[in-house]
Structure 1
Amino acid sequence: MTVSTTEKTLNYIVLGLFALFAITPIITVILTALGPQTRVQTGGLHFENIVDAWNIGQFGPALGRSVMVALLVVSSALLLSILAGYAFGTMRFRGSTVLFYLFLLGLMIPAEAIIIPLFFDLRALGLTDTIWAVSLPQIAQSVAFGTFWMRAQFRALPPNLIEAAAIDGASGMRTLWRIVVPPSMPSIATVTVLMFMWTWNEFLIPLVMSPGATWRTAPLGLAVFKGQYTADSALIASAGVIIAAPIVVVFLLLQRYFINGMLEGAAKE
């Protein structure tokens, strides 16, 4: 199909406007973070705001706890999602449809609806104020979405890949990790970034499951910092940049797989 010059120009204009709409808040936060603090009258870029926010807010321990929670949640949920998605996407067994719908309940029930009874259950088990109380509910939430995501990906793979592996005598696990997972890396990378982002930004579960603030994560630390320095927008924006930086780093590390996935989709079209 031939696309005229006018259509191309309109496409670029529309995409440019959407890109500008998306990037404007990010640029605003960065410029605010590098602007002068309330007590500072000099102009220019103030990179020392990042250092001041880090030292005043003592974000080091909170970021460390967030990293540990995110690593535990993402690694566990990703492994379970791949295994469950492989079973639902490539195997046919009795009750698979009903069992898959049970997984989908995790997407339909909001955390706010179950957080209070879940807190009492975990407290009865002596798990509150531990990494498990903060991580286990998030693992369950991520597995629900991850299973749905990976099932769709595995079902889209050519059936002859799995059939050829079975003919060659490969076991189910060997077929999964050697045949099925490599071409699915763009989808796995995408769900990894989503899980990490959701876990990193989670506020309610750490707040409720750690009443003693033993496992206060980065978003909770940012909320406390904002309550102490509400008047100084430069420090608040600098703290926001500190908290958001790990998500940007993870995305940059995995962006190659996003690009490969888009190129593969375009080639198929």
Structure 2
Amino acid sequence: MKKPLSVRAAGNIVLVFMVAFSILPFFSMLSAALQPQGSMPEGIQFTATPHWENFIDAWNMANILPLLKSSCILVLAVVPTVVLCSALAGYAMAQLRVPGRGVLYAIFIIGLTIPFETLVTPLYYEIDGLGLLNTRWALILPLIGLNLSFGVVWMRQHFEQMPRDLMEAASIDGAGDFQTFVRIQLPLALPALSSLAILTFLSTWNQFLLAVVLINDPLKRTMAGALQTFVGTYQTDVVLLNAGALLIMAPTMILFIILQRYFIRAMLAGSVKG
């Protein structure tokens, strides 16, 4: 049954407003970043001669290259570990008869309810006690632990929706639990794994608080963590501040645009069963 034309028109209007509401801040930042340095731009106004060199100056002044390297190292260590451990734990809790899996799952659920800010102080003293303060491990290990709760719950929900017939058919063919996981469950879980990887990437790349608290060397922080130094140095230059913020946000925006179909597919996978 087709929806009435008025309903579809209203839906399109709401969608246009939502898109405009999401995009306008980026246009405002871009227009400000293209103004002459030292000026005070107001609203969205593009000049006849845009100053693209502002992005080059912001790149050099904020030492983006070493920060980009540091963020990439952090992402390459955290994201694969979280995705692999979450897939294994989610599969075990959903499909296997693991003793005490209900208690373990409850612990992960509790982990999701704890405010992140309350963990910063204990984490600082724990990392300091381990002698890892001001090292990349000071960010890698906590970020793996902080993202695991969501990852395990996410993957458990996915594997619970998988038909039991697949497990039984694989068992009849002589496949063990691990073979079933690798050859059958993992290929079918690619949308969920991709979306989990995207969410973990965003959480890791945009990490600000831990990077500032646990890392003293600005060149070992994340791109987002370096924004504090950039703001403190160039807070009076709105143009360079907007150019630097856009450079820091660019990787996450590009990644989401490239992988958005996997993310949307995983979001919709849980809404329809069967």
Paired residue for 1:164? 169
**Aligned-pair distance for 1:190?**
1.1
Aligned pairs (5 A) from 1:182-197: 182-197=187-202
Aligned pairs (5 A) from 1:52-71: 52-71=57-76
| Aligned CA-pair RMSD | 2.3
Paired residue for 1:30? 30
Name the stretch that deviates more: 212-221 or 134-143. Answer: 212-221
**Aligned-pair distance for 1:177?**
2.0
Letter in 2 for 1:175: T
The 1:265–1:221 alpha-carbon spacing in structure 2 relative to 1, beyond 3 Å, is closer
Aligned pairs (5 A) from 1:94-105: 94-105=99-110
CA–CA distance in 2 between the matches of 1:148 and 1:164?
26
Paired residue for 1:9? 9
- Residues 70 and 219 of structure 2 are in contact (CA less than 8 Å); yes or no, is this contact kept in structure 1? no
- Residues 35 and 239 of structure 2 are in contact (CA less than 8 Å); yes or no, is this contact kept in structure 1? yes
1:215 aligns with 2:220: yes
The 1:109–1:234 alpha-carbon spacing in structure 2 relative to 1, beyond 3 Å, is same
- Residues 106 and 140 of structure 1 are in contact (CA less than 8 Å); yes or no, is this contact kept in structure 2? no
CA–CA distance in 1 between the matches of 2:62 and 2:215?
19
The 1:242–1:212 alpha-carbon spacing in structure 2 relative to 1, beyond 3 Å, is closer
CA–CA distance in 1 between the matches of 2:219 and 2:55?
25
1:112 aligns with 2:125: no
- Residues 93 and 101 of structure 2 are in contact (CA less than 8 Å); yes or no, is this contact kept in structure 1? yes
- Residues 122 and 133 of structure 1 are in contact (CA less than 8 Å); yes or no, is this contact kept in structure 2? yes
SS of equivalent to 2:148: helix
Out of 145, 165, 183, the position equivalent to 1:178 is 183
**Aligned-pair distance for 1:213?**
4.2
Which has the larger helix fraction? 1
Q: Which runs of 5+ in 1 are unaligned?
A: none
CA–CA distance in 2 between the matches of 1:86 and 1:263?
20
Name the stretch that deviates more: 142-151 or 230-239. Answer: 230-239
- Residues 35 and 43 of structure 1 are in contact (CA less than 8 Å); yes or no, is this contact kept in structure 2? no
SS of equivalent to 1:44: coil
Out of 51, 72, 97, the position equivalent to 2:77 is 72
The 1:223–1:166 alpha-carbon spacing in structure 2 relative to 1, beyond 3 Å, is same
SS of equivalent to 1:217: coil
Letter in 2 for 1:199: T
**Aligned-pair distance for 1:214?**
5.9
- Residues 206 and 222 of structure 2 are in contact (CA less than 8 Å); yes or no, is this contact kept in structure 1? no
The 1:3–1:101 alpha-carbon spacing in structure 2 relative to 1, beyond 3 Å, is same
CA–CA distance in 2 between the matches of 1:162 and 1:176?
9
1:243 aligns with 2:248: yes
**Aligned-pair distance for 1:62?**
1.3
Q: Which runs of 5+ in 2 are unaligned?
A: 42-46
SS of equivalent to 1:19: helix
CA–CA distance in 1 between the matches of 2:88 and 2:264?
25
CA–CA distance in 2 between the matches of 1:121 and 1:267?
43
Residue correspondences, number: 269
Name the stretch that deviates more: 15-24 or 214-223. Answer: 214-223
Letter in 2 for 1:150: M
CA–CA distance in 2 between the matches of 1:265 and 1:130?
39
SS of equivalent to 1:73: helix
The 1:101–1:67 alpha-carbon spacing in structure 2 relative to 1, beyond 3 Å, is same
- Residues 158 and 192 of structure 2 are in contact (CA less than 8 Å); yes or no, is this contact kept in structure 1? yes
- Residues 55 and 244 of structure 2 are in contact (CA less than 8 Å); yes or no, is this contact kept in structure 1? yes
The 1:212–1:9 alpha-carbon spacing in structure 2 relative to 1, beyond 3 Å, is closer
TM-score, structure 2 normalization = 0.90
CA–CA distance in 2 between the matches of 1:49 and 1:136?
36
